[in-house]
Structure formats: structure tokens, C-alpha cells
Amino acid sequence: MSYFDAASAAPLHPVARQALLASLDEGWADPSRPYREGRRARLLLDAAREAAAEAVGCRPDELVFTSSGTRAVHTGIAGALAGRRRIGRHLIVSAVEHSSVLHSAEVFEADGGTVTQVPVDRTGAVTVQGYADALRPDTALACLQSANHEVGTEQPVAAVAEACRAAGVPLLVDAAQSLGWGPVGGDWSLLAASAHKWGGPSGVGLLVVRKGVRFAPQGPADERESGRSPGFENLPAVVAAAASLRAVRAEAEREAARLRELTERIRSRVPALVPDVEVVGDPVRRLPGTVTFSCLYVDGETLLHELDRAGFSVSSGSSCTSSTLTPSHVLRAMGVLSEGNVRVSLPPGTPAEDVERFLEVLPGAVAAVRDKLAAPASEAVVRDDALVVDALGRRCPIPVIELAKVIGDVPVGGRVRVLSDDEAARLDIPAWCEMRGQEYVGEEPADRGSAYVVRRLS
């Protein structure tokens, strides 16, 4: 079985396993106690904090360990907003942030704050000007991920941090996806990360708050971790997290170059092997091991099952794999195809042979899924000089499949109206038009769902 979902959780690093087992015997006592066992535990905790701080590029007393990366994000945003409440109640986030950031923004907005979402381009990157334009006198905090978790695009963190610093606004960086590859550059103010993304154990996060940043911890007071992460420290996991971070950093330069070659192999060969595929994300400024592509006329969940049966564990941002039946907010913000979406994120150590085997298996898996979905005939009628396709009640990618079937039945310059009540159609039909050289006219209201109007150009 080839595990290609390291962006969700990387396999436990051997160093993490060794450190975890060793610290179970030495780090079980309360590190706040002055007796021998407590002092021994305190030494382990302090050493882990120093190692993690060195990897991040901060002072040890600026870093605390949390129960997860999500907890680090929630704590960091809430504390920074509370600490700067007198400045204002305005928060800036990008449209492609991790759900932990966006959920924090929703809570803040429900409590009376205002939130600005900075849009991204088709590669998934924000512009520095976009953040500069969003800054206001009452901006309390800005947030920006270092690299995107779904498509791998790296963000211009250093330049955004400079713009925020000039305006006197702290920047919180979600570095969950990138910290294992290297420190985050720029004059950022707060940083959050998660150990299971770099091969540490799950249940350990990092939160860094630079000296001088106004920060007011929320919730009941607790004396541990500078009052920013309540509860007894999971010391064995913390030690393993810090040890594995140091270990992956030592291997990062060599392994990054190797994984970049493998993902470039996937980026360049998938469109040649599989027709009607869109590779998404920035082709250059991206994480070493992540590559994402979307396949037209493919149900994402079925494709993932096909690949699983073939021995490959991958993930997807397709609406078809979500219980909400709505496309990924990241793919939606980018304006790219969401149906049949596959994210391949290679863990360090992935053999080149596994990638070659994936490229051999993928075309057959996609073809098998397309064969299964080719059946239903659309109900197409001519109404108001437009061909109307009734795809109501049919989920992705059926509306797009039905559009593709009938576009040739109208003359050049003629229109097709696709009726659909699937949220994914709002994203996938315009994306299909761009891929196939047709004109997306726009969305119109309908008695049920929406009507998506396409004009045939060729």
C-alpha cells in the first residue's frame, strides 16, 4: 500500500517513535514539581521547547505546546484579538485558509467583529496588495497560511508580514504544512503548527507569540504553558514532536529536492496520460511533495475508492467526497475544477517506483469511473432559443457530463442552459468552459436550483 496523504498526517518518524518510547519512562511526572521525578520531567520539557524554538526561529519563552494545531490556531487568534480589542474589531484572513482559521473568523464575526477575506488568484496565491488594501485603522489581526493544505501553493508571507508590520498589525501564520521543510521567513508576530504534519505524534501543536505582541489568553486561568495552553502537558508526545521536527529538518533539503522531482513528474505526465485533466496550484511556488489535479466527468469519491483498491491512499477536495456536497472552499476560491479532484501529498522517503506505479494505475482508474458515469441521458429541450439540460437532482459530475454531451447539438453562438441544484455546478461549469474553450455567460435564477448559461464558441 502506498500512502500519498502526508498533507493530512505524515507517518510517524522513526525518531519520534524512539523519543516517545524513551520519554514514557522518564517523562511521566509533573514537570512543575520540585522533586527528582518532576525535575527530570522539567528537563525533558525545557529541552523539547528549546529544540522546537530553534527550528521555528524564536525564543523558547515565546513558544508553548498545545493539544493540537487547531487548538494553537484557535488560541492564537482569540488571544491576539482580545489583546488588541481597544485597537478595533477587524480581522483579515485569506479565502483559502484552513478551516480552523475560518471557523475562528466565523465565531469572531458572530460576536460582532468584522472579517475581510482576501481573494486568491487561480493558482491559490494571495497578493501582497490584497492584504495591504484590506488593512484598516481598526484591524486587530491578520492571518495567512504559509502554504496551502489542498493545492500546495506557497504564500508570500514575508512580504505580507512587512505590509502588516508597517501598519502596526500583527500577522498570525498557520505554518502547519511548511514547518517541517524549514522556518517561516518574514517578520511575523504569531505562528501555529501541528506535529502530525511533519511526522510527530498527533495531539501536539505549537503556538508562538513574539515578545511585544498584545495577547490576552481566553478561558479560565491556568499556570501551565504561560497560561496559554491549559492542562497537564503530554510530555512524551511533546518530546517526540520536538525530536522529529529536528530530525526532518536535518533531512529536509535533500528530501525536498527529491520529492519536487517526483511531484513534477506527476504534474507533467498526468495531463498526457489522462484526458480532460486540470492540474491546479502554483507550478513553482509550492510544497515539495504536494500535487493536485481534477478530472472532468469523474465522481471524486468513486475515484478515491478505485485508487484505494489499487493500493494508493490519496485525498480529495471534491464535493463528491464531502457529506455537505459542496466543493472545497479552496478550489471554489481559486475558481478551478472541483470534480474528480485528487490530492497527492508524498511523505518523505516515498520511493520513485511507487510514483511510477501510480502513474500506471491512474489512467485505468479514471477510465473505469468515467465508464460508470456515462449512462444517464439528459432531458434536453429547446426553450427561448437555448438548449435546456435538466440535471436537477443529479450530483457532481453529472451536470457537467450532461453539458458536454449536448454542447455539440447547438450551433456556434448558440446557448445551453443547465438546470442544477448541486452547489458544485456553480464552480465546475465555469471551470469546464475555460478548459474546453466555451463561454460561460452566467447564472440565472430558476424555479428550482439555478440555470447556468453556456455559449458555444467552437
Measure the CA–CA gap between 51 and 224, rounded to whole angstroms: 19
Q: What is the DSSP string of 256-299?
A: HHHHHHHHHHHHHHHHHHSSSEEEES-SSSB-TTEEEEEETT--
259: Cβ contacts below 8 Å, ≥ 6 apart = 288, 289, 346, 348, 350
> Each residue of 342-361: b (16+ CB within 10 Å) or e?
bbbbbbbebeeebbeebbeb
Contact by Cβ (8 Å): 236, 20: yes
CA 151 to chain centroid, in Å, comes to: 7
Measure the CA–CA gap between 442 and 415, rounded to whole angstroms: 11
DSSP H/E element including 141 = strand 139-145
Neighbours of 226 (CB within 10 A): 15
Q: How many helices (H) and strands (E) does the chain have?
A: 12, 17
Angle formed at CA 427 by CA 424 and CA 125, multiple of 5 degrees: 125
- Specify the residue for cell string 447564472: 443
341 DSSP β-pair partners: 294
- Short-list 153, 96, 92, CA closest to 329: 96
Residue 278, judged by CB atoms within 10 A of its CB (0-12, 13-18, 19+), counts as buried
Helices (H), 27-167: 36-56, 69-83, 99-110, 128-134, 157-166
- Short-list 144, 140, 143, 163, CA closest to 153: 144
Please pick, among 58, 295, 320, 433, the residue that the annotation labels catalytic. Answer: 320
Helices 398-406 and 425-436: crossing angle in degrees, nearest 10, is 40
Identify residue 130 by its one-letter amino acid code: G
58 is catalytic: no
Report the length, in residues, of the chain: 458
DSSP H/E element including 15 = helix 14-26
So which residues are the catalytic ones?
Answer: 320
